[in-house]
Structure formats: structure tokens, C-alpha cells
Structure 1
């Protein structure tokens, strides 16, 4: 019952974000054939950029003249950054909004234990993020059908999307923990979005300078690095393990804290 309620409350946001993301993916892949015809001029343009900038965005290993290269350079930025913003916004208010909207008293008066409340809210976050990523995958596969331009390694593509999905879940789990611990929705949303942008900035910095490459272990944006995954056709188990551990830890911590939290109604 509570899961359906939470899923329904967030369905409009899910639909809007999914439609926007699908439109972006299809639009970019739709213009790929015309971009591929100008591959030489595009390659010259990228070569004119500073080396650090090319390294940071994977332009040193990917080519705009191939569908996956174009996807990894142009579209991957949208799916990771916008997707992380969606996941953070979704999870950041799902618990705290009960107090913010003055509905906590009604919710706690229902014959439902707190562990069930926090569990079903967590499942609603998980379902929304997974569906959002399924839309990205479906739109990408549809876009590849008319993009043309050469063979596509679907193994590399699915490994990349797995990394992206885990990254979205990582930000969602952290925001979910914030939501369970804090009380004011506005503060939680700001902190969650701030974390996303800081992690993105650190990911860019890690690619700009070899001396700061150690930052790649700090930010999930480097765990889902398109250049590495698409060229090597490999998603490092270490990165997957770190994100899974962070997801489990944050959800379990939110579960434990909410059961003991003093909720003012």
C-alpha cells in the first residue's frame, strides 16, 4: 500500500524526467549521421583543445565518428549528470517531506511499523531509478537503429549503462540517508544536489591533471567513465564493488536511523 502510494506520488516526476532524457538521447543520436560526415573537421576541432580537457572528457580515446564514441562523448554527460540530479531529488525528499508537509502524524498513526515505512519508501526510490535507467537504455537502443555509422559493441554499451545505473543508485542512496536523518526537505535537496555537482567537478579535475588522478577513487562519475569502459569493454569490479557497498551502507543506515528517530509531529 505505502509502496504504491509513494510510487504514484513520484510518477509524474518520473515520466517528465524520462521523456526529457529519452528526447535528448534520440535527438543526439538522430544528428549523429550528419556529424559523422564531418568527422575530420570534428577531430581537428578536438585536437585543438588542451590535452587536459580532451583527457577529462574522454576525447583522447573516443571518436565522434563512431556511434559509441559519439554516445560516450556527447550523450553520456547528459545521462550521468541529469540522471544523478533526478535520483538525488527523488530520494532527498521522500522521507523528510512527511514532516515538512505535516503528514507524519497521519502516517505514524497507521498500523504500519516504522521499518515497513522506510523499507517501502526505499523500494519506491529503487523502482523509480531502475525504470528511469530502463528508459535511457530503450531510447539508446532505438536511437542506435537509425544512427548507423558502423558496428556497435553492445557488450560495452550495456557495461556502461550498468555503471551509470549504479552511479544513479549511489547518489539516490546517499540522498535517501540525508532524507532519513535530516528534517527540512529544502536543506536535504540542496545538500544532495550540491554533492552531485561537487562529485562531477572532482571527476573533471581528476581527468585534467595526472597529479590529481587519485580523485577518481572519490567520485562515482569516474567509476562510470565512458572512455575507459567503451574502449576496454570492461567495468572494473573494484568500482562496482565500491558503489554497491555505498548503496547498501546508506540504505541500511537510513533504515536503522529512521527506526529510532524522534519524529516531531
Structure 2
């Protein structure tokens, strides 16, 4: 328990900064909704954009004049920000003892490595949950302030459930990368680079259906925004796949961390 509290305290400032940034992202994004919902030049510009440009911007076939379509477009950037936070948190919380030369602090305690990594991952999970809740509350607040049509509270909740599963995948992926690499200083950049690579891959597969098989390699494509907007919810099989992947990555982090030689 002491290790969990120590990690929560160590990441408190970063969590506050990320939470504020996520709130501002939602606020700034939703503030643009009136320009599209009212029609006019802004709406016409989006209608005339080529399909490839729409795909790259995350618009796809969404009607951005409707709140559900506009929020789906905004969610792309919310998910990217949350993914960056999760992967950096996962890698950092595992690597920071070696990076900051504080390994002795943990090694002199009468606890096993399994207990140490469990405490670290629980603290990281708490951070992810809090950021997800901040994003959910921010989204509900701002959508209610701008939405003049049908409420989309259910869709927002489903978006955040899918976001949480993606966060888990990248959190445990970052932890596994940090546990596997011998150079803790590079774990964050390596994990973040791979994560951003999956985002780029998601944009590439948006451009053509011929590469849809590659969607299995990018968590950003596991959950269909269109499916949620259309009221069909989250595919149960995909949700189970995401949970299984997160569990597998967490198990890998455990195994690799317990076997590695820590640099003092």
C-alpha cells in the first residue's frame, strides 16, 4: 500500500496537468461546434472536402452538423491524447526507479518484485481511470452546453468505455516495453513511437479497404466510431479481444520485470 501511495503522490502533478489539458481539449473542440451546426461556409467547406482528407481528419462519413457526428470527430483527438498519456505513464512508472537511480529504495523493502510491479500498475491504473472520468465529465458538460438536439449521453459513455480499453492496452504496452528494454531512459520514447505508429497505421487503413486486415495491429481501429454513433454500441467480441490483449501485455510486463537485472 505504501508503494501505491508513493506512486500516486509522485504522479499527482502530472495527472493534474493532463486532466486540465484534456478538459481544455474538450472545451476548445466543442466551442467549434456552433460554426458547423449553424451551417454556412464552415459546413460547406467540410462537405466539399475529398473523402481522403475527411478520413485523415477523422470526419469519415459523419455529419458534423449533428452533435453525435461532431463528437465522433473530436473523439479521435481525445483518444490520441489519452493513448499518449497511458503509454508514457506505463513506461515511466516501471522505468523511473532505474532512470532516477532510486532502485535501492524498493530493493531494501521486504517485498517481492511481483508486489512492486502490482503496486505500480495499480497506481498507474488509478491515474488512467481518473483521466478517463475527467474526460467523461468534461464531455458530458460541454455537450449538454452546446447540444440543441437529441441527447447523446449514452453514446458518450460508450465512447469513454472504448477509450478506457484503449488506455489499458497502451498502459500495459508501455509497461511491457519498459520491462523489456535494458535502457530505461529510452523506454518512453520507444513505446510512444510505436503507439504513434499505430495511429498513423489507423489513418492509412482509413484511406483504403484493401488494408483493413492491418486494423488488427492498431488499437485505434478496434472500436468503430460509426457503430457507436449509429446506436449499435460496442462489439462484444472486439471488447473481449481488447481486454485479452491488455491482460496479455500486463502478464508480459510481470514476467519481464521479474526476470530483468535492475540497474542500481
TM-score (norm 1): 0.93
State the aligned residue count: 263
CA contact under 8 A between 1:62 and 1:231: conserved in structure 2?
no
Partners in 2 of 1:122 and 1:252 — Cα distance?
11
Partners in 2 of 1:172 and 1:65 — Cα distance?
34
Partners in 1 of 2:203 and 2:213 — Cα distance?
12
> What secondary structure does 2:6 align onto?
helix
User: Which contiguous aligned blocks of 4+ residues in structure 1 show a shift greater than 6 angstroms?
Assistant: none
Q: Structure 1, residues 152-181: CA drift from partner, whole Å, max 9, x if none?
A: 232222111111111111111100111122
Note the C-alpha offset of 1:24: 1.5
CA contact under 8 A between 2:169 and 2:246: conserved in structure 1?
yes
Residues 1:49 and 2:37 are matched in the alignment? no
Partners in 1 of 2:200 and 2:226 — Cα distance?
17
Note the C-alpha offset of 1:60: 4.2
How is 1:76-87 mapped onto 2 (pairs within 5 angstroms)?
76-87=75-86
Partners in 1 of 2:224 and 2:30 — Cα distance?
20
CA contact under 8 A between 1:57 and 1:207: conserved in structure 2?
no
CA contact under 8 A between 1:43 and 1:63: conserved in structure 2?
no
How is 1:98-113 mapped onto 2 (pairs within 5 angstroms)?
98-113=97-112
Corresponding residue number in structure 2 for 1:186: 185
Change (3 A) 1:217 1:43: farther
Q: Structure 1, residues 197-225: CA drift from partner, whole Å, max 9, x if none?
A: 11111111111012112222221111134
Partners in 2 of 1:110 and 1:34 — Cα distance?
58
> What secondary structure does 1:94 align onto?
helix
Q: What runs of 5+ residues in structure 2 fail to find an aligned partner?
A: none
How is 1:167-206 mapped onto 2 (pairs within 5 angstroms)?
167-206=166-205
> What secondary structure does 2:94 align onto?
coil
Corresponding residue number in structure 2 for 1:93: 92
Which is bigger in relative contact order (C-alpha 8 A, separation at least 6)? Answer: 1
Corresponding residue number in structure 1 for 2:148: 149
Note the C-alpha offset of 1:259: 2.2
Corresponding residue number in structure 1 for 2:16: 15
Change (3 A) 1:232 1:214: farther
TM-score (norm 2): 0.93
CA contact under 8 A between 2:99 and 2:185: conserved in structure 1?
no
Partners in 2 of 1:216 and 1:100 — Cα distance?
34
Partners in 1 of 2:59 and 2:257 — Cα distance?
45
Q: What runs of 5+ residues in structure 1 fail to find an aligned partner?
A: none
Partners in 2 of 1:117 and 1:138 — Cα distance?
32
